[in-house]
Copies of this chain bind each other. A is one copy, B any other.
Amino acid sequence: MPKIVDHEARRRHIADALLRIASREGLDAVSLREVAAEAGVSMGMVQHYFATKDQMLMFAMIQLNARIGERVATAMDAPSPRAFLRAAILELLPLDDERRSEARIGLAFLARSVVADEPADLLRQALPYVIGFYAEQIRAAQELGQVRADLDAGIEAVILYTMAQGLVNPALIGHLSPEEVVATVDYHLDRLFLTSG
């Protein structure tokens, strides 16, 4: 009987190895040899599933974003657009070990995307989705009278997204404590929303 191989599981297993290395030592340390050793498979097996380091990285980023997306989805029954938006933003920030690891990899991916075409393409596809989701929550709040109608939901969404991304590095290197990160987000949401809950 032929052996049944779950190719998707193998790809995920290899991508997880890449994520662990990137989180620990940065993308610099990610090589065919390192990934194979970390995953406990042969270099040939890694090459069988991924033609290039960027392809492996992109597969890993899609996995990682799906994980974050699942966590955000659990906040969908939040009592207000503000609470939902806050939960979604905090899921991206390095406030515990899991999110610290994700944020380190995310930052490496952002840096890679400004010198490599395929990661840039992936981000150009993902950004309108994330920023659009923020804008949607702000518009919903405007309709409920919870955000001033004269604010530009699209630009406010860009500011929220960029502020969150910009908080990642100062939080990871310890310039800001997790409490200061959360206080900064809440300070800004206080300005944006007419309601506190």
Contacting pair B173 A113 (CB below 8 A): yes
Contacting pair A114 B107 (CB below 8 A): yes
The CA-CA distance from A52 to B28 in the complex, in Å, is 14
For residue A169, CB closer than 8 A to chain B, the reply is yes
- Interface code A108-135, partner B: CB below 8 Å = 1, 0 otherwise? 1011111110001001100110000000
Contact sample, A vs B, 26 pairs, CB 8 Å cutoff? A24-B115, A26-B114, A26-B115, A26-B116, A27-B28, A28-B28, A28-B112, A103-B114, A104-B114, A107-B114, A108-B115, A110-B111, A114-B173, A120-B174, A124-B175, A127-B175, A155-B184, A158-B167, A158-B170, A159-B187, A159-B188, A162-B163, A162-B165, A162-B170, A162-B184, A165-B166
A interface residue numbers (CB < 8 A to B): 23-28, 103-104, 107-108, 110-116, 120, 123-124, 127-128, 152, 155, 158-159, 161-167, 169-170, 172-176, 180, 183-184, 187-188, 191
